[in-house]
Amino acid sequence: MTLDRKRDEEQISSGLTRRQLLKASGLAGTVLGSAGLGLLGYQAGKDPSTYTGNESFQGAAQTFDRNRFAVDVPHYEKVGPTQRVDARTEVVFSRVSRLRRQWEEETGAEGLDDQLKEYYARFPEDLETDVHLIEEIFPIHREEAERHRGQFLLAEAWSNAMGEVWPDAVDTPPEESDFPSGSHGEPAEPLKMKSPETTAVLIKKIAHQLGSVLVGITRLNPDWVYSHAMRRRGFDPEQPLEIPKHWEYAIVVGTPMSWDPMYANPNYGTSSDAYSKTRIVALRLTSFIKQLGYPARPHVPGTEYDLMVPPVVIDAGLGEQGRHGVVITPELGSNFRPAVITTSLPMKIDKPIEFGVQDFCRTCKICAENCPSGSISTGKREEVRGYRRYKIDSAKCHSFWFSNLGNLGCRICVAVCPYTRKSNWLHRTALNVTSNDPTGLSHTVLTQMQKSFYPAPDPQDYYLPLLGGKNESYRKPPWWLKTEDFIDL
Ligand code: SF4
Ligand code: SF4
């Protein structure tokens, strides 16, 4: 197996080879006159913030060198005849739940089924412990839980929200699906929140706890809601979608796509990893808000939305629209996938931001030059449904998805965008400079640097050989996605 893993990791994690990067730091230091830039040394791709929350998904936190301590046999010893565990009685949760169903004081152990009798005959001390639990401790626990319930309300709501794994989003009308019900099925009473400010702080912290990298809050602009709903959202798609009154606020959450495959778009990257993480975050946050007694409705990937997500992301202060039509954020560039939760929970809203993207896109055009289908305009923003924005030819874009082999979709425009770079000193400095440069001089310089140090294939080469191309990817795939190194084809 010829794994050129180290080189790949170096090049792909930074987007540059070591030599190129050293050159880049020198050039950038000179050109931008940013004194520290050339002196900070080589760190690209090594910064802990590089993965912005992905560590747990990529195993990067598993750093202990286990190989040094490897042994031939595990430390437990086989000393007699072995026996497999009987899950019906030897697993405490199933045994206690059976006992609860069967236990009556008058009949005692005699009233139990044969399996429990047999178990407790072998372990009589467990019978005493289990009976004490169900007769004495459970009632006390219930009583105390009722008395102190308020104290752990948020902890319980968070824990329950984390338990949401992959439920359906919603397929019933908002007046049914969005509202939380109380313990006996009646509508839940909304908890009295202290203030919109503290609620916003809480919701953002919880969103991060639930796995979101980005979170922002805005009032929902009705213009972004679909005029007619998608199927299986609880609306009649043939009728105009009437916006429910309780869709007052929109919370936006977002997580990044895996960086290294993303650079190897269009054929090795995927939207699915960020889609699924973001979806789970949104469903968890919906659950959390409902446990506070407020209505909430998730609008999530893959295709379960009642609204246009990108303008809501902009309203919530997370970024600006780029020429490629995707929102660019300061932290992740366009490398993220968002979801929205609509709710009436009163929260302090965020303001939109402008950190130089509109000016940068005016001259950059790298995405348009690299788009194989010509879907991205090189011209000015134009009016689309009453708003000025960059217009994308989504039909041509969609058609290209099937003109290249590998994972579905394309995302080349996301990968080539200078803003879509891992966090390291060079890119942070560049972001800082471009965000604070009213002259636009740094934009031209950085665009040229980008073109020099991140060479891309000819756009035609992304196409399949039968369509006149080479089925190329923007960067090489990460070592762990090279099928030929692991599987005999
Ligand atoms: S996804 Fe690909 S085809 Fe579509 S606009 Fe971006 S670069 Fe062009
Ligand atoms: S590649 Fe350039 S023009 Fe395109 S979205 Fe990114 S910054 Fe804007």
Q: Per-residue pLDDT tens for 368-420?
A: 999 999 999 999 999 999 999 999 999 999 999 999 888 889 999 999 999 99
Predicted pLDDT at 185? 67
Predicted pLDDT at 56? 47
Is residue 160 included in any domain, yes or no?
A: no
| Run of H or E including 253 | strand 249-255
- What percent of the chain is modeled with pLDDT above 70? 85
Confidence of residue 167 (pLDDT cuts 50, 70, 90): low
Task: State yes or no: pLDDT of 310 exceeds 90.
Answer: yes
Predicted pLDDT at 165? 60
Backbone angles phi, psi at 338, to 5 degrees: -100, 165
The last residue of one of the domains, among 355, 376, 407, is 407
Domains of the chain: total: 2
Q: Which two tokens stand for residue 18?
A: 């070591």
Tens digit of pLDDT for each residue in 202-215? 999 999 999 899 99
The last residue of one of the domains, among 360, 381, 407, is 407
DSSP 135: I
Predicted pLDDT at 232? 85
Does 258 lie in the same domain as 133? Answer: no
Q: How far apart are CA 337 and CA 341, in angstroms?
A: 14
Does 263 lie in the same domain as 231? Answer: yes
- Pick from 263, 366, 411, 458 the residue to mutate for probing ligand 1's pocket: most ligand atoms within 8 Å of its CB: 411
Does 224 lie in the same domain as 133? Answer: no
Is residue 423 included in any domain, yes or no?
A: no
Q: What would the mean pLDDT of 1-8 be, rounded to a whole number?
A: 40
Does 112 lie in the same domain as 258? Answer: no
Q: How far apart are CA 343 and CA 220, in angstroms?
A: 9
Predicted pLDDT at 392? 94
Predicted pLDDT at 139? 94
Confidence of residue 147 (pLDDT cuts 50, 70, 90): confident
Does 320 lie in the same domain as 190? Answer: yes
Is residue 121 included in any domain, yes or no?
A: yes
> Atom 4 of ligand 2 has which residue's CA nearest to it?
367
**Residue 400 CA, closest ligand 1 atom number:** 3
Does 199 lie in the same domain as 133? Answer: no
Ligand nearest to the CA of 376: 1
Predicted pLDDT at 368? 98
Is residue 392 included in any domain, yes or no?
A: yes
DSSP 136: I
Residues contacting 77, CB < 8 A, separation 6+: none
Does 322 lie in the same domain as 239? Answer: yes
Q: How far apart are CA 15 and CA 270, in angstroms?
A: 18
**Residue 373 CA, closest ligand 1 atom number:** 3
Predicted pLDDT at 241? 94
Instruction: Please give the distance, rounded to the nearest whole angstrom, from the Cα atom of residue 323 to the centre of ligand 1.
Output: 11
Ligand nearest to the CA of 335: 2
Pocket of ligand 1 (CB under 6 A): 324, 371-373, 375-376, 392, 397, 400, 410-413
Q: Which two tokens stand for residue 71?
A: 């042994």
Least confident of 105-109, 169-173, 337-341: 169-173
Mean pLDDT, rounded, of the chain: 85
Predicted pLDDT at 36? 32
Contact predicate 264/236, CB 8 Å: no
What 3-state class would DSSP assign to 142?
helix
Task: State yes or no: pLDDT of 184 exceeds 70.
Answer: no
Give the CA dihedral 97, 101, 103, 107, nearest 10 degrees.
-150
Residues contacting 451, CB < 8 A, separation 6+: 366
Residues contacting 489, CB < 8 A, separation 6+: 483
- Tell me, using a 6 A CB cutoff, whether residue 322 lines ligand 2: yes
Contact predicate 121/114, CB 8 Å: no
Q: What domain range is 283 assigned to?
A: 166-407
DSSP 149: G
Is residue 264 included in any domain, yes or no?
A: yes
Angle ∠(398,260,42) on CA atoms, nearest 5: 135
Q: Which two tokens stand for residue 489?
A: 């084809």
Q: What would the mean pLDDT of 422-432 be, rounded to a whole number?
A: 85
Is residue 129 included in any domain, yes or no?
A: yes
- Residue 219: name the closest of 115, 327, 344 by CA: 344
Task: State yes or no: pLDDT of 318 exceeds 90.
Answer: yes
Does 262 lie in the same domain as 173? Answer: yes
Q: What is the CA radius of gyration of the chain?
A: 28
**Residue 324 CA, closest ligand 2 atom number:** 5
Is residue 344 included in any domain, yes or no?
A: yes
Ligand nearest to the CA of 375: 1
Does 117 lie in the same domain as 215? Answer: no
Does 261 lie in the same domain as 114? Answer: no
DSSP 304: B
Q: What would the mean pLDDT of 157-163 be, rounded to a whole number?
A: 75
Does 204 lie in the same domain as 126? Answer: no
Does 325 lie in the same domain as 219? Answer: yes
Contact predicate 416/365, CB 8 Å: no
Is residue 309 included in any domain, yes or no?
A: yes
